């Protein structure tokens, strides 16, 4: 029987043998552990940290990410891109990597809701948080593998799960492999093509907040840095951050 480390490394493949791997039972946040470890000189890229549970998992805009034991994959990658990068580009690549790994291992086809969420069956199954750490970047990824007993708490919003037989450590290795492979060719047009093919907002009418005011727009595409290209009554513009909505609490009908 493979050990936990062997499961990750087997899925990661021999081309990333220089990666350091850290498996934790519980931590506050894998992103926070790596960030503080970088400052202290403990961790250097490439590095992968995986926790069975998090007590203070974080998402974008300071939101909590529910991270109970036994139901999800909670991982962070510390890497050093060899070419100029932006948080949007890194998040774009991470979303593609998670999609490819899930597709490869389950046959399921998640969709990307800009900017950093993956949806399946109209429910959010994954969140991504990219943070700079000097010249390095930390990419936190949380995937809901199973619906918890009794369901997700109300605070989790429209959370869902893959709910298929799947080894979380093998999935972590596959995600890391796709991400690190992509990082070597971060600006290759295939990465953007793969993202656009899984981002069904293109051509849709959305609402978004700008300076506290709700506005309507039509999505026309995604630019090379992961910005959302839209057209409003004032003309075309590009969103670099923020929240968009379809005017519904569900992402159903876009799969």
Residue 53 pLDDT class (50, 70, 90 cuts): confident
Cβ–Cβ under 8 Å, residues 229 and 219: yes
Environment class of 107 (CB within 10 Å of its CB; exposed 0-12, middle 13-18, buried 19+): exposed
Residue 241's pLDDT is 82
pLDDT in tens, 21-44: 999 999 889 999 999 999 999 999
Residue 121's pLDDT is 92
Environment class of 168 (CB within 10 Å of its CB; exposed 0-12, middle 13-18, buried 19+): buried
Overall CATH class of domain 205-245: mainly beta
Residue 192 pLDDT class (50, 70, 90 cuts): very high
- Low-confidence winner among 66-80, 121-135, 186-200 (lowest mean pLDDT): 66-80
Q: Radius of gyration over alpha carbons of the chain, in Å? A: 18
Residue 247's pLDDT is 57
Which sequence spans correspond to the domains of the chain? 4-197, 205-245
Q: Is the predicted pLDDT of residue 155 greater than 50, yes or no?
A: yes
Residue 250's pLDDT is 47
Query: Which CATH architecture describes the domain 4-197?
Result: 2-Layer Sandwich (3.30)
- What average pLDDT does the segment 6-19 reach? 95
pLDDT in tens, 64-96: 555 566 789 999 999 999 988 888 899 999 999
Residue 55 pLDDT class (50, 70, 90 cuts): confident
Spatial separation of the C-alpha atoms in residues 11 and 29, rounded to whole Å: 23
Closest CA to 179 of 71, 70, 101: 101
Q: What is the pTM of this model?
A: 0.91
Residue 245's pLDDT is 83
Kindly report the three-state secondary structure assignment for every residue of the chain: CCCHHHHHHHHHCHHHCCCEEEEEEEECCHHHHHHHHHHCCCCCCCEEEEEEEECCCECHHHCECCCCCCCEEEEEEEECCCCCCCHHHHHHHHHHHHHHHHHHHHCCCCEEECCCEEEECCEEEEEEEEEEECCEEEEEEEEECCCCCCCCCHHHCCECCCCCCCCHHHHHHHHHHHHHHHHCCCCCHHHHHHHHHCCCCCCCEEEEEECCEEEEEEEEEECCCCCEEEEECCEEEEECCCCEECCCCCCCCCC
Q: Is the predicted pLDDT of residue 235 greater than 70, yes or no?
A: yes
């Amino acid at each position: 029987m493979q050990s936990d480390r062997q499961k990750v490394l087997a899925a990661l493949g021999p081309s990333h043998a220089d990666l350091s791997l850290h498996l934790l039972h519980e931590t506050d946040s894998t992103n926070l552990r790596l960030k503080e470890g970088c400052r202290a000189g403990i961790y250097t890229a490439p590095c992968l940290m995986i926790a069975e549970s998090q007590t203070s998992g974080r998402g974008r805009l300071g939101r909590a990410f529910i991270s109970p034991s036994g139901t999800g994959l909670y991982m962070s990658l510390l890497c050093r891109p060899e070419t100029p990068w932006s948080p949007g580009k890194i998040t774009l690549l991470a979303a593609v990597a998670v999609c490819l790994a899930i597709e490869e291992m389950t046959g399921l086809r998640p969709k990307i809701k800009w900017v950093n969420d993956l949806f399946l069956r109209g429910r959010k199954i994954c969140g991504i948080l990219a943070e700079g750490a000097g010249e390095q970047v930390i990419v936190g990824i949380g995937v809901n593998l199973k619906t918890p007993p009794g369901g997700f708490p109300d605070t989790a919003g429209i959370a869902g799960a893959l709910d298929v037989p799947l080894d979380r450590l093998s999935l972590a290795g596959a995600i890391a492999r796709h991400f690190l492979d992509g990082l070597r060719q971060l600006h290759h047009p295939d990465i953007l093509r793969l993202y656009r093919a899984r981002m069904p907002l293109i051509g849709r009418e959305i609402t978004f907040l700008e300076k506290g005011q709700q506005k309507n727009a039509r999505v026309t595409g995604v630019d090379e840095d992961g910005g959302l290209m839209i057209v409003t009554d004032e003309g075309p513009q590009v969103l670099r951050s923020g929240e968009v909505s379809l005017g519904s609490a569900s992402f159903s009908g876009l799969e």
